[in-house]
Chains A and B, each alone.
Chain A
Amino acid sequence: MLGRTLREVSEALKQGLVTPTELCQRCLSLIKKTKILNAYITVSEEVALKQAEESEKRYKKGHSLGDLDGIPVAVKDNFSTAGIETTCASNMLKGYVPPYNATVVQKLLDQGALLMGKTNLDEFAMGSGSTDGIFGPVKNPWSYSKQYREKRKQKSHGESEDSHWLITGGSSGGSAAAVSAFTCFAALGSDTGGSTRNPAAHCGVVGLKPSYGLVSRHGLIPLVNSMDVPGILTRCVDDAAIVLGILAGHDPKDSTTIQDPVKPFTLPSLTDMSKLCIGIPKEYLTPELSSEVQSLWSKAANLFESEGAKVIEVSLPHTSYSIVCYHVLCTSEVASNMARFDGLEYGHRCDTDVSTEAMYAATRREGFNDVVRGRILSGNFFLLKENYENYFVKAQKVRRLIARDFVNVFNSGVDVLLTPTTLSEAVPHTEFIREDNRTRSAQDDLFTQAVNMAGLPAVSVPMALSSQGLPIGLQFIGRAFCDQQLLTVAKWFEKQVQFPVIQLQELMDDCSSIFENEKLASVSLK
């Protein structure tokens, strides 16, 4: 049951083939079995079971709230959840219990979703590995997959089972791992420079970054106000579309949400490919790109062309500067956003009470890790009076050039861009930590962050396994507010490539109850 799509499970719930409580208990049990992944910071067992009970009552009366009623979901721990600790994986907010729900969380709860817990991340969502939080790193479920382990047995001998575990990517690694390991059907992540798409690609799940302004950021603890977006992680494109349909829409509490009316939508099947134009940005072909990802990218482009779509090479001339531009804008906004953490109203407070300044400084030293402090200091440097024009304003001008590059490409008739999501498949943790966080982020965010600067929608779809048995995803980028069209193309692609299901039998004691198919043979979808 846990391996099914959202729509299938929703149907099963409506038909009474499974109850929300059963579903909830299975997910909770699986969360315990996959504890080694460290995907969850808080497991809200009592809350989830209570929600399941209420959902069950609704189903018995035939009054289900919709497709998400009774469906286990998880939320990244930088979204405020009323009554449930929200830490951002930082000492600064350890023990902080918000008095309100983020709008997107509230929307999920209003639809009857079951909140399984808060997922792990890089501290304050700064990072591309989900390795730099106070609760420790998240492990990629594929490290324990049959597909990966079989390939490894051929190579190395005598190594301890767990020493070579792989990162999930980040910063929404916990959410990606939670979805990938079947502990929930959908998870919220956040995406500022690729933080949803990067771990999605590494964990073999779908990672959607909606258009900026489509989904409310109220309650998402902000990193970069002009780029942050709540992200959606699911096991298939259709599920992501369902969740987006629920989350999208104007929020009076977030003035950066557009006021255009938004309705939930279903994704049509693409039949006439001849009307579709796919763009391949040539500047994304970089020396650092692994040959396997390159080859899959090329294969995907060929696939579209062979089915009748127009596939053309396009240019995004300022690509080589976008990571630098992102670095300046990101650290500058971070410097501003992190200023709120002073120990007075919420969060960690140091013991010193000598003077306000001393208290602030000590609180922030104790509360933030090196990565966060480093970005705050860099940001403050770029915002200094003597640097403001040359760095911050300059970066804002370059941002316009980058956004314009995309507009020009879309205006020339391209519907959707096709690019890699990551440079390679997930790497072992031991290898990842050889470089510092800033360097890694600069490398890993390469294909993803320009999208945040332009505010466009993008989705990472898993395509195939690498020669090591690890997932590789590709990214589709759409026009602003054309999320539905983007997902339509992504859904078609997903159907073509038939990405394999992760085999996690070794990690779980009894796989039979998780992958049982008997009851579902009779589920008919309307």
Chain B
Amino acid sequence: MWTRRVWLGLRASAGGRRGFPSKADPQGSRRVTAELIEHLERLALVDFGSQEAVARLEKAIAFADRLRAVDTDGVEPMESVLEDRCLYLRSDNVVEGNCAEELLQNSHHVVEEYFVAPPEKHMEITPFCLWTPPSKHR
């Protein structure tokens, strides 16, 4: 009978039940190298800012490493829970827009209808020719 079995289970001591990975530190946490830090900061355009943040990343990686224990042979990745349905396409008609002024209002730095960004670093102006003189060819 359900109630008797599960009631006993619910009252059983916690020791025998493993529904949740233990909070103990897992072994072999990946070391986050200085090179990786720089690489991630550049990609994310967010800096770590402190050693604590690096430690937090290491813990996050160690936590994620637990996925290795799952057998996913032959399992397809799931991108959306709605994968069994068709993504519809609406007709290609303009239904809204013409709100440039509204949108520009939210920016701190605009010039006419442009958002202004500072230049890329290491920007070099190099002259280029569409035409190459014949002497350069063999």
- A residues lining the B interface (CB < 8 Å): 96-97, 99, 212-213, 226, 252, 255-256, 258-259, 280, 282-288, 294-295, 297-298, 301-302, 305, 311-313, 318-321, 323-325, 327-328, 331, 335, 339, 342-347, 349, 352-361, 364-365, 368, 370, 373-374, 376-382, 384, 390-391, 393-401, 403, 436, 438, 442, 446, 453-455, 480
B78 touches A324 (CB 8 A): no
- Pick the residue among A313, A376, A390 that contacts B46 (CB under 8 A): A376
Contact B82 A320 (CB under 8 A): no
The answer to whether A396 and B77 have CB atoms under 8 Å apart is yes
Are B81's CB and A398's CB within 8 A? no
Q: Is the CB of B79 within 8 A of A355?
A: no
Please name 22 pairs of A and B residues whose Cβ atoms are closer than 8 Å in the assembled complex, sorted by A. A96-B106, A99-B106, A284-B19, A313-B9, A318-B70, A324-B64, A324-B66, A342-B45, A345-B103, A346-B106, A356-B117, A358-B121, A361-B47, A365-B47, A373-B46, A380-B43, A384-B43, A394-B72, A395-B64, A397-B76, A401-B70, A438-B60
Partner of A354, one of B14, B64, B118: B118
Beta-carbon contact of A381 and B118 below 8 Å: no
Contact B70 A321 (CB under 8 A): yes
Report the minimal beta-carbon distance from A471 to chain B, rounded to whole angstroms. 21
Contacts beyond the supplied A377-B40, A399-B77: 19 A-B pairs with Cβ under 8 Å: A226-B81, A282-B19, A286-B17, A302-B3, A313-B6, A321-B66, A324-B21, A357-B45, A359-B118, A361-B46, A370-B53, A373-B49, A373-B53, A376-B46, A377-B46, A378-B60, A384-B43, A391-B64, A391-B67
Q: How far is the CB of B120 from chain A (nearest CB, A)?
A: 5
Interchain nearest-CB distance for B35 vs A (Å): 12
Chain A CB within 8 A of B99 CB = yes
Q: Tell whether, in the assembled complex, residue B118 and residue A356 are in contact, meaning their CB atoms are under 8 Å apart.
A: yes
For the complex formed, measure the closest distance between the CB of B39 and the CB atoms of chain A, giving whole angstroms: 8
Q: 7 closest pairs, A vs B, by CB?
A: A455-B81, A396-B77, A287-B14, A400-B78, A355-B121, A397-B72, A346-B106
The verdict on A297 contacting B10 (CB below 8 Å), with A377-B53, A397-B77 known, is yes
Most A-side CB within 10 Å, residue of B43, B49, B85, B99 = B43
Q: How far is the CA of A345 from the CA of B63 in the complex (A)?
A: 36
Chain B residues near A323: list those with CB within 8 A.
20-21
Cα-based distance from A409 to B124 in the complex (angstroms): 62
CB nearest neighbor in A for B54: A377
A294 touching B115 by the CB < 8 A rule?
Answer: no
Query: When A255-B88, A301-B6 are in contact, do A287 and B106 touch as well, CB less than 8 Å?
Result: no
Closest Cβ of chain A to B116, distance in Å, is 8
Q: Please provide the chain B residues from 41 to 98 with a CB less than 8 Å away from any CB of chain A in the complex.
A: 41, 43-49, 53, 56-57, 59-61, 63-64, 66-70, 72, 75-82, 85, 87-88, 90
Contact yes or no, B3 A345, CB < 8 A: no
Residues of A near B105 (CB, < 8 A) are: 99
| B131 adjacent to chain A (CB < 8 Å) | no
Does B107 make an interface contact (CB < 8 A)? yes
Tell me, in angstroms, the Cα distance from A119 to B47 when the chains sit together. Answer: 29
Q: Which of A297, A321, A345, A384 contacts B69 (CB 8 A)?
A: A321
Q: In the complex, are the beta carbons of A344 and B67 less than 8 A apart? A: no
Question: Residue B48 contacts which of A255, A321, A347, A377 (CB distance < 8 angstroms)?
Answer: A377
> A394 — nearest CB in chain B belongs to which residue?
B67
Q: Are A357 and B102 in contact (CB under 8 A)?
A: no
Name A393's contact: one of B77, B102, B103, B109 (CB within 8 Å). B77
B9-24 CB contacts (< 8 Å) to partner A: 9-10, 14-15, 17-21
Residue of B nearest to A280 (CB): B6
Contacts of A297 in B (CB 8 A): 10
- Given A286-B17, A349-B108, A436-B56: A258 touches B85 (CB 8 Å cut-off): yes
Q: In the complex where A226-B79, A324-B66 touch, is A259 in contact with B118 (Cβ < 8 A)?
A: no
Contact of A226 among B63, B80, B88, B102 (CB under 8 A): B80
Does the CB pair B57–A399 fall under 8 Å? no
Given A356-B118, A391-B64: A283 and B56 interface contact (C-beta under 8 Å):
no
Q: Does any Cβ of A come within 8 Å of B127's Cβ?
A: no
B136 within 8 A of A: no
The reply to whether A97 and B106 contact each other, CB–CB distance below 8 Å, is: yes
**Which residues of A are found within 8 Å of B61, using beta-carbon distances?**
378, 381
Cα(A325)–Cα(B21), bound, Å: 13
Contact indicator A298/B10 (Cβ below 8 Å): yes
Q: How far is the CB of B75 from chain A (nearest CB, A)?
A: 4
CA distance A344 to B69 in the complex (A): 43
Assess A259 versus B88: contact at CB under 8 Å? Given A313-B5, A324-B66, A374-B56: yes
Query: Which chain B residues lie closer than 8 Å to A374 at the CB level?
Result: 53, 56-57, 60
B7 within 8 Å of A (CB atoms) = yes
